[in-house]
Structure 1
C-alpha cells in the first residue's frame, strides 16, 4: 500500500483507497501525462476540493502521491534522490489546479528548487474533468544572457493543450536539455578542473559597499582555489531569517547555478545553523559562508604545527553549533536496553568528541604559547627592538620582509599567502639590529573564531616596539583597508603601540598619486 503525503487529514476512506491506487499506475516513459491519469487526478481533486499531485520518474513509475489544499500543494523532501550537478532530479511533477489558474510563483519556485524535469498543471473544470495541461521546464543559459535574464529566459512554457494532444516526447526533451547543460559547463573554462562557485551577497545598506565586499569575496574564492562563475547581489530591508535572501532570489540563484554548472554557492555573509539547513534542504549544492571560506584558506596555508593546530581549533569551534543529526530516526547508540542510563545519540557523541578535541587543542596551543613567551623574554633581555609588519591581507608584507632581510618567505599575489608568523634579524645602516616580524593579514569581518584561535600568534604583535602598517597603494579600497586594520588593532588592545603608515606597491600607481597619499595620510612610500 503506497504512502500518501501532504494534507491528508479528513480524507474519506474511499478517497484514500483511490489515491493509494494511483501509486500503482505506470505511464509510458515518453509521455508527460496520459489522458487517463489526467482524468483520475481531476476527478479526485474535484471531489475532495484539494489539489492532487504525483511525482513520476523517467521510467513512468509514480514515486509520490501528494495532497494539498484548494490553493497550493507542498512536496515531500526529495534530497535523497538528487543527482549530480548539471542534471535534473529525474522526476516530473503533475498536479491539479482547481480554479483554472496558470503557473503560480510557488509552482515555479518548486520547479527550480527541486530541479524537477518538468512541471505540468492540469486544469480542472467545474464538472471535474481535465481541461488543458500547462507544461514548463527550466532553460539552460542562453548566449548573450550573462546574468540569467528575465523569467522568460529561465523557464520554457509550452502551449497549453488537452492531455492527449501535447505532442512532446518527454525523454527526448529531457535528454536534449541535459546535453545543453553539460555543453554549457564545458564551454565555461573547459580546461579548468577547479570547483565552480556562484557568489551571493545580501545587504540592507549600500549596494556599492555590498559590491565592494563581493569583489573581496571573489578574491578570497580564487585564493581558495575556486573558479567563480557569477556573482549576485540582493538588497533587502532586512535579512530573511530562514534563507538570508528571499525565496524568489534563492530560486534565481539555484537556476543560475544549474545553468552554469556550479558545484557550490558561497555567501558573503555568515549563515546561522538554521539558514544553512534551510538552504541545504533546497539544493544539493555545497553551501559555504564567508567564515567557512576563510577557514578553508587558512587550512590550505598552514605549514607549521602551531598554525595547523590553530586552524583546526577555529574550524571545530565553528562546526560545533552547526553540527546536526541529518537522520532524525537514529536510535541511541549506547545505554538503553542492556545498559544503564538513557544513552547518547550519535549527534551527542559527535558533539562530545568535538568538545574533547577542542580542549586538547587548547592545551597544546597554550604550551606553544608558553614557548613563544620564553623566546620573547630572551629577545627582551637581549634588548633587540622588535618591528612587526601589519596590514590588510595581500598588502605585500612578506615581499617587503624578503626584500629587507634577503629571506625566502613564501610571498604570492593572493590573499592569506602567509599564515604562520615569521621573524628575521635585520641590520640597519647605522649598525643596529632589529627583529622584523611578518604577521597574518587582517580582513574585514575577521571571524571571531579565527581571532580566538590565533591569539597566541597575535600576541607576537603585542611585544613590538613599532608597527609598520603596510597599505597597498594600488587598491581602490585602501581607505577602507586602513580603517579595518586600525579597528582590528584597537579590538586586540594593540592601539597604543607606535605605528608607521607605509604605502606599498607604489610602482602600480602614478608618482603624483603616491605623493598625494603620503601627504594626506602623513605616511611614507
Structure 2
C-alpha cells in the first residue's frame, strides 16, 4: 500500500468489480495497479470498493446499494475523486456524477492524465492532446453538467479544463488539426529514422516501471530520466551504443500497461514505429512482480497489435536482486509451494526451457549479470550486422565485455 505523505494529494476512492471474467484475486491486482496510477497522477487512494456482479451495471457500473455505500463514505471523508477501474460510458459517467457529486474518472482518463503530465516534447504533448480529445468527444454531453464546477487536478489537465464550453464540431475540428500536425511530424521523424542509415536498431520494450530506462542508462552511459512511478518515460529516447567497434542504435520506448487506451495506441503511432522498425527487441520484465507473466502476455498482445510480435526478442528478466530479497523466507515447509514460491533458479529453468538462451536474468540497478547481458546483445547485433554487411565482418573481432566497463 502507498502511504499518504503529502496533504496536497487528492483524496480518492477506487471502485472495481469482481465478475466471472475477473475473479477476486485479479480484481485486487488491477486495483493495486490503479492505486499506483492514482499515486503517479497526484492522488491518494483512501479506500477501495468492490462488488461481485455478473457484469457491470450499464447505468451506474456498480449496483444501487453499493453506490449508496460509496456516496456515504465520500460525504463522510472529504473525498474529491472517484476512480473506476474500467472505462465508463458517457451515460455511466453522467449518472454516477449526479449521484456522487464529485469528480468521476475511469482508468483510461487516469492514464491519459498521467501522459499529459509526463509529455515533455511538443510532439508528445500533441499526441496526448489528440488522445484526450478522442476520449472526450463521445462524452461531451455528460461532462458539461459536472466538470464546470471542478477546479483542476487529476483528469483535468489538457483539453478538459479549457474546452468545457465547446461543442462536438469544435472538438472534431481540433482532432483534425492535431492529426494533421502529427502527420507532418511523422514525416519528419520518418526522415530522421531514414537518415540513421542501416545501423542495427535495438528497442527496449516492456510493461511500465520494469526498469527499461535504468537499463538504457547503464548500456548507453546516458542520463535518461528514471523514476519509480508508472510511465516515467513517455518520449522515445534513441542513443548510439558502441560495443568495441560495433555500433548500433538503442531506443527506450513508452511502457505498456493492461487495458491500454486505444486512443493512446493510435496517437502514439510514431513512438511505436521505433518498435516496428527495430531489428531486435529487448523485452524487459520485472521478475520481482508477483504477476510478471501476465505483464509479459500484455506486452506480447500489444506487440501483436502493432505487427511486431514476430521480431527477434531477448527476454531480459530484471530486478533479480529484489526478487531474491522478497523470497528469502519461501523455504517454509508448511507452505504449499506454487509459482509464487519459485526460486530464481526455478524461474531460470522454466524460462530457459521456453526460449532457450534468449532468457537473461539481471539487475540493471545493481549491475548484476550485465557482462552476460552485454555479450548476448553483442552476439545478436553482430549476427544481424554481418548479415546486412557481409563484407564488413572482418572488422568485428570476438567480443570482450571488459571494454564496456
Normalization by structure 1: what TM-score? 0.58
Q: Answer whether contact 1:503 1:518 (CA < 8 A) is retained.
A: no
Residues 9-50 of structure 1, C-alpha deviations (whole Å, 9 max, x = no match): xxxxxxxxxxxxxxxxxxxxxxxxxxxxxxxxxxxxxxxxxx
Q: CA deviation at 1:411?
A: 0.2
Q: CA deviation at 1:249?
A: 0.4
**Do the aligned partners of residues 498 and 233 (structure 1) sit closer, same or farther apart at CA in structure 2, a change above 3 Å counting?**
same
Q: Offset at 1:235? A: 1.2
Matched, 1:364 2:170: no
Bigger Cα displacement from structure 2, 386-395 vs 485-494: 485-494
Tell me whether 1:394 sits opposite 2:230 in the alignment. no
Which residue of the partner structure matches residue 45 of structure 2?
A: 228
Q: Which has the higher helix share?
A: 2
Indicate the residue corresponding to 2:14 in structure 1.
Answer: 199
Verify: 1:305 aligned to 2:133, yes or no.
no
Cα deviation 1:405-462 (Å, max 9, x = unaligned): 111111001100000000011111x420111100000000110011111111111111
Counterpart residue number, 2:296: 482
Q: Which residue of 2 aligns with 1:409?
A: 224
* Cα offset, 1:347, TM superposition: 9.6
Residues 1:457 and 2:293 are matched in the alignment:
no
Q: Which residue of 2 aligns with 1:173?
A: none
Q: Distance in 1 between matches of 2:127 and 2:39?
A: 23
Match of 1:516 in 2: 346
The C-alpha deviation readout for 1:266-292, integer Å capped at 9, x for no partner, is 000110000001001112210000000
Structure 2 Cα separation of the partners of residues 225 and 347 of structure 1: 22
Superposition map of 1:74-113 within 5 A: none
Residue 191 of structure 1: how far off its partner (Å): 5.5
Q: Deviations over 1:320-365 (max 9, x none)?
A: 00001757xxxxxxxxxxxxxxxxxx99962111111111110111
* Alpha-carbon contact 2:17-2:27 (below 8 Å) kept: yes
Structure 2: unaligned runs, 5 residues or longer: 146-162, 326-341, 353-358, 362-405
Which has the larger displacement, 228-237 or 284-293?
A: 228-237
Larger mean CA deviation between 454-463 and 388-397 belongs to 454-463
Match for residue 91 of structure 2 among 253, 269, 274: 274
Please list every run of at least 4 consecutive aligned residues from structure 1 whose deviation after the TM superposition is greater than 4 angstroms. 188-191, 346-349
Shift of 1:517: 2.1
Greater CA radius of gyration, 1 or 2?
Answer: 1
1:221-273 deviation line (CA, Å, top 9, x unaligned): 11111011111111101221110100100011111222222111000011000
Aligned equivalent of 1:423: 238
DSSP-derived class of the 1:510 partner: helix
